[in-house]
Amino acid sequence: MQNFRQYLPILDWGRRYNRNTFSNDMIAAVIVTIMLIPQSLAYALLAGLPPEAGIYASIAPIVLYAIFGTSRALAVGPVAVVSLLTASAIGQVAETGTAGYAIAALTLAFLSGGFLVLLGIFRLGFLANFLSHPVIAGFITASGILIAVSQLPHILGISAHGHTLPQMLSSIFAHLNQINWITVIIGGTATAFLFWVRKNLKPLLKRMGLSALMADILTKAGPVVAVVTTTVSVWLFGFADKGVKIVGEVPQSLPPLTMPSLSPDLLGSLLMPAILISIIGFVESISVAQTLAAKKRQQIDPNQELIGLGAANLGAAFTGGFPVTGGFSRSVVNFDAGSETPAAGIYTAMGLAIAALFLTPLVFFLPKATLAATIIVAVLSLVDLTILKKTWNYNRDDFLAVLATILLTLTLGVEVGVASGVTISILLHLYKTSRPHVAEVGLVPGSQHFRNIHRHDVETDPSLLTLRVDESLYFINARFLQDMVQARVTEGTEIKNVILMFSAVNEVDYSALESLEAINLRLKDMGVGFHLSEVKGPVMDRLKTSHLIHDLNCDVFL
């Protein structure tokens, strides 16, 4: 039974479900549903898909995550960055608006879901650690800028295209003569209103005497107010006949059963983008889930989260959706609204299903400019250019990785940007570990502590060289240590003994072992003693299996 609970967390929280929990989850579900209806439509627009795809992608995936996921507050569905990645990936294999485009979106969700489930089954969640936080922050910032700029044509009522910032700006400027001023007024007003709602409405309602819960609900309903107002305006004044682009007819139905393509060519074309989307989505999702769980002293299982997100994406693939992940804004809203279990997600899915059945005719005259405004307001909160200043002040290597990620994402596209950021981070890490910090240490007077001779007032002996190695030793830095010892010993003839302090060494691979053996032989030939000190137990166990300890020309000190 314990194994079932491990893979089906619903069996754990479900058996403790009660009336009070139901009440709290239902209230949270109502708030999140109100927020998700316009947001789902908007993110489908961003992904280049029909608006109903956004609602479909928010029903089955939420239910499946509730069954398999471990977070009590994570809200799964379409998110801005993943929608942008989706548009970028399938835009290269199919034309927007075609049946092939929709099938490619299903296939991308299928590949992403399958990859996530495999990672979870084989407990490979650690692979996401190859994306450092600065790279993720830089990528999300650049993506936020790209997303906001990509929505400007909808705000201006013009046709423009492009996947990079130069392409988008060039296309926008080339089509400025097509501006529809009614669309500009609608989009500009909606954007300004939504910014005002996000910043000022909740404090205003509290000052008017409303409870925090009611103020929160009304604030989250801001996008709905914008949708209703602009839709009624377009219908009432006939703006659709004056060039204002509208959503049009949205099917009035539950998510259909769909089938991703199994074409080898399409699968091959979408495999790498699917892996990228999976890792980016998982990193974003697990960060949100762990942050919210910590506030209630709950625990998140990263490997089970992979299975939960994988199941959600597979659900999207077979119900007319596109890749999904845990969203920051909706998860925070879900948490703040009092959600106690993943059942809140199931109730949200039920609310969206009702909307898909009965409310879709009401969005026929919804202007696309309003959806664009919703996206712009949502994604600009993701843009954090202060990460450049923070990393510059703290670590120039991280600054370089962030800057490269931002610039390459903006100029060459999202896939190139994040791949370059990961590559740069790994190369910088390898460079730093190839030149480990090695400190010459001396004895702190009156103690048995050894510290850096350049930072502390310590006792030294000209005949003794003690070096503290502050890094595990492996093939990439073994020769560096070997050359350093050789250079230091040949500087003068007074050194009679060399001690390597291994207090910070957690691993010695075979290449490093050979370097230590070479150091031992050279020092022995020079008549210099070679010692080790503070060797950790697991490292010593490994060294004892070699000839080094037996052939060491001196001692190992505790």
Give pLDDT tens digits along the chain (558 positions): 555 666 788 887 878 888 888 998 998 898 888 888 888 999 998 999 999 999 999 999 999 999 999 898 899 999 988 999 999 999 989 998 898 999 999 999 999 999 999 999 998 877 766 777 788 888 889 988 998 999 999 999 998 888 899 999 999 999 999 999 999 999 999 999 999 998 888 888 888 888 877 787 778 778 889 999 999 999 999 999 999 999 999 899 999 999 999 999 999 999 999 998 998 899 888 888 888 888 887 788 889 999 999 999 999 999 999 999 998 878 888 887 788 899 999 999 999 999 999 988 999 999 999 999 998 988 888 888 899 999 999 988 889 889 989 999 999 988 788 788 778 878 888 888 888 899 999 999 999 889 999 999 999 998 999 999 999 999 999 899 999 998 888 866 689 999 999 999 999 999 999 999 999 999 999 999 999 999 999 999 999 998 888 888 888 888
544 token code pair: 């004892």
Statement to judge: residues 270 and 419 lie in one domain: no
Tokens of 359: 């409310």
One domain, residues 349 and 325? yes
Q: Which residues of 518-555 are buried (b: 16+ CB within 10 A; e: fewer)?
A: ebbebbeeeebbbbbbbbeeebeebbeeeebeeebebe
Decide: 504 and 537 in contact? Cβ < 8 Å: no
Residue 208 CB coordination number (10 Å): 8
SS3 459: strand
Q: Are 243 and 182 in contact (CB under 8 A)?
A: yes
Same domain, yes or no: 407 and 371: no
For residue 450, being part of any structural domain is answered with: yes
> Is residue 395, in this structure, part of any structural domain at all?
no
Residues 359 and 442 in one domain: no
Tokens (6 digits) for 193: 């209103």
Do 234 and 118 share a domain, yes or no? yes
Same domain as 286, residue 221: yes
Assigned domain for 217 exists: yes
Do β-strands 450-452 and 325-326 pair in parallel, antiparallel, or remain unpaired?
A: unpaired
Burial-class residue 36 by CB neighbours within 10 Å (0-12, 13-18, 19+): buried
Q: Is 76 helix (H, G, I), strand (E, B) or coil?
A: strand
| Structure confidence at residue 6 (pLDDT) | 67
Number of structural domains in the chain? 3
**Predicted pLDDT of residue 398:** 87
**Beta-bridge partner residues of 311:** none
- On whether both 427 and 375 belong to a single domain, the answer is no
Kindly state whether residue 394 falls inside one of the protein's structural domains.
no
* Ramachandran sector of residue 232 (left: φ over 0; alpha: ψ -120 to 50; beta: rest): alpha
Amino acid identity of 3? N
**pLDDT in the model for residue 2:** 54
434, 460, 494 - which closes a domain: 434
349 domain residue, yes or no = yes
What per-residue confidence (pLDDT) applies to 493?
A: 65
Of the candidates 322, 356, 384, which is a domain's last residue?
Answer: 384
Residue 416 structural domain: 400-434
**Beta carbons within 10 angstroms of residue 292's beta carbon:** 23
Whether residue 261 sits in one domain with residue 122: yes
Instruction: Output the furthest CA–CA distance in the chain (Å, rounded).
Output: 97
Q: Assess whether 309 and 344 both reside in one domain.
A: yes
**Contact call for residues 456 and 445 (beta carbons, < 8 A):** no
Half-sphere exposure of 40 toward its Cβ, with a 13 Å CA cutoff? 32
Backbone φ, ψ for residue 151 (5° rounding): -90, -10
**Residue at 451: amino acid letter:** R
Q: Does a structural domain hold residue 443?
A: yes
Q: Is residue 392 part of a domain?
A: no
Same domain, yes or no: 366 and 482? no
Q: What are phi and psi of 473, to 5 degrees?
A: -105, 125
In a domain, 411, yes or no: yes
* Contact of 58 with 349, CB cutoff 8 Å: yes
Are the C-beta atoms of 552 and 532 separated by less than 8 Å?
Answer: yes
Do 125 and 270 belong to one domain?
yes
Q: Please tell me whether residues 265 and 302 are part of one structural domain.
A: yes
Query: The domain spanning residue 497 has which CATH number?
Result: 3.30.750.24
- Record the tokens describing residue 494, joined without a space: 């007074």
Residue 262, Cβ density class (10 Å: 0-12 exposed, 13-18 middle, ≥19 buried): exposed
Tokens found for residue 73: 């507050």
Distance CA 522, CA 532 (A): 15
State whether residue 343 is helix, strand or coil: helix
